[in-house]
Amino acid sequence: MTTDTTGTAARDGEPRSGGPADSPFVRACRREPGPHTPVWFMRQAGRSLPEYREIRANVPMLESCRRPDLVTEITLQPVRRHGVDAAILFSDIVVPVAAAGIDLDIVPGTGPVVAEPVRTAVDVERINPIGRDDVSYVDEAVRLLVAELGDTPLIGFAGAPFTLASYMVEGGPSRTHAKTKALMYGDPELWHALCARLAEVTLAFLRVQVDAGVSAVQLFDSWAGALSEADYRRYVLPHSAHVLAGLNEAGVPRIHFGVGTAELLGAMGEAGADVVGVDWRTPLDVATRRIGPDRAVQGNLDPAVLLAPWEVVEGQVRRILDQGRAAPGHVFNLGHGVLPETDPEVLTRVVALVHELSARPAA
């Protein structure tokens, strides 16, 4: 018998056990068996929690992302309350772009709003490279969190080039992404220059988080589902692939997620993900056929189902766990973020139910 630094006994010849790298969440991402199906929720830290609303009451969103004490407390809130298998850093996809020099704000009820949208080559030049000193508050928050979380893994994240480009070009949230697509089709050279810049910002932001100790990263391409597969492959995939390949040596699982991506699931996996996030529109067994045997899946309860009676929630959780058994690894999650009106008690019950239904006897 050997004893590792966490004091957990490990049998000779077996990998060291204990610590976040051996958690059910990281094991599922690596397609390794674990004691139960791990579960966390996109936007688990947020307005569904009264303790979040209280701490954020007089602090604007971007300011809260730049205060390591607040980031740490808000990130820990859903871990304490729900017993989820992973924490996700409290931040926003536009935080690194603001650090890169773009004047923007996050407006409550709207989302990111950019003061001067990026539409010309000169505008693209305004997006500066970033390093650790530009986001030192993230470095500090991750270190504080890793120390607090113990064996619970912390997920770092960033926005993928397409989704960030959409906010930069539109100047704010958009239903059609019309200006973004007009630039993409009308001036491919400028489009690729913009995405290449954003990819460097994203990669640098993720490297800061990895160096500070996150156990996994999620690349959010939330709005990629607005594109056909052909256009995704031509205009977007190379830039997301650059980000994901830049983390090849980092040794942490990479999750890649978007909404409405049924037609893109295979391509998003090929971009270099270890885990592909699936929204509620595609059953996980169907998604697995599209993604192939070499990647795990994450998802995919419709967040709106959490507003339905408990019997409905329970039935949907059972279905998703059953369909997830077709995948070589399954991380239970929602198909998109927690809705603010969700009763947090229901989230806690879902965590317990996933753990109970998926419990596997120790090998």
d(CA 272, CA 291): 12
Which is catalytic among the residues 22, 27, 52, 56? 56
Query: Using CB under 6 A, which residues numbered 147 to 176 contact ligand CP3?
Result: 157
Q: Kindly state the smallest distance separating residue 46's Cβ from ligand CP3, in Å.
A: 4
Per-residue interface string for the shown chain with ligand CP3, residues 93-122, x marking contact by CB under 6 A: x------------x-xxxxx----------
Instruction: Reply yes or no on whether 43 is catalytic.
Output: yes
How many H-runs (helices) and E-runs (strands) does the chain carry?
Answer: 16, 11
Binding string to ligand CP3 for residues 54 to 83, with x set by CB under 6 A, is what? Answer: --x----x----------------------
Q: Smaller CB distance to ligand CP3: residue 22 or 74?
A: 74
Dist CA 101 CA 123 (whole Å): 11
Catalytic site residue from 22, 92, 134, 274:
92
Rounded CA separation 269/327 (Å): 13
What DSSP character marks residue 342? -
The reply to whether 92 belongs to the active site is: yes
Of residues 81, 85, 134, 167, which has the active-site annotation? 167
Catalytic site includes residue 47: yes
Please state, in angstroms and rounded to a whole number, the distance separating the CA atoms of residues 362 and 328: 19
The phi-psi region of residue 142 (left if phi > 0; otherwise alpha if psi is between -120 and 50; otherwise beta) is: alpha
Query: What's the min distance (Å) between Cβ of 75 and ligand CP3?
Result: 8
Sheet of strand 275-277: strand arrangement:
87-88, 154-159, 216-220, 254-257, 275-277, 296-301, 330-334
- The Cα–Cα gap between 191 and 276 comes to 25
Alpha carbon dihedral 337, 340, 342, 347, in 10-degree steps, equals: 50
How many residues touch ligand CP3 under the rule CB under 6 A: the total is 22
- Read out DSSP for 275-308? EEE--TTS-HHHHHHHH-TTSEEEEEE-GGGGGS
Residues numbered 221 to 240 that lie near ligand CP3 (CB under 6 A) are 222
Q: 21, 29, 88, 265: which one contacts ligand CP3 (CB under 6 A)?
A: 88
Residue range at the interface with ligand CP3 (CB under 6 A); choices 45-53, 131-139, 194-202, 344-352: 45-53
43 binds ligand CP3 (CB under 6 A): yes
- Looking at the Cβ atoms of 22 and 342, the one nearer to ligand CP3 is 342
Stretch in the footprint of ligand CP3 (CB under 6 A) among 16-24, 42-50, 201-209, 319-327: 42-50
In the list 25, 26, 76, 90, the residue contacting ligand CP3 (rule: CB under 6 A) is 90
Between 218 and 316, name the residue whose CB sits nearer to ligand CP3.
218
Catalogue the E-assigned strands of 44-89. Answer: 87-88
Closest by CA position to 338, among listed 127, 97, 52: 52
Amino acid identity at 329: G
Of the candidates 249, 177, 161, the residue with the CA atom closest to the CA atom of residue 207? 249
Nearer to ligand CP3, 90 or 191 (CB): 90
- Min dist CB 309 to ligand CP3, Å, is 25
Of 44 and 300, nearer to ligand CP3 (C-beta) is 44
Q: Does 300 sit behind a cis peptide bond, omega within 30 degrees of 0 on the bond before it?
A: yes
Catalytic residue list contains 56: yes
Among residues 30, 31, 43, 289, the one annotated as catalytic is 43
Minimal distance, residue 74 CB to ligand CP3, in Å: 8
Q: Return residues touching ligand CP3 (CB under 6 A).
A: 42-47, 56, 61, 88, 90, 92-93, 106, 108-112, 157, 220, 222, 337
Active-site residues, by number, are 43, 47, 56, 92, 167
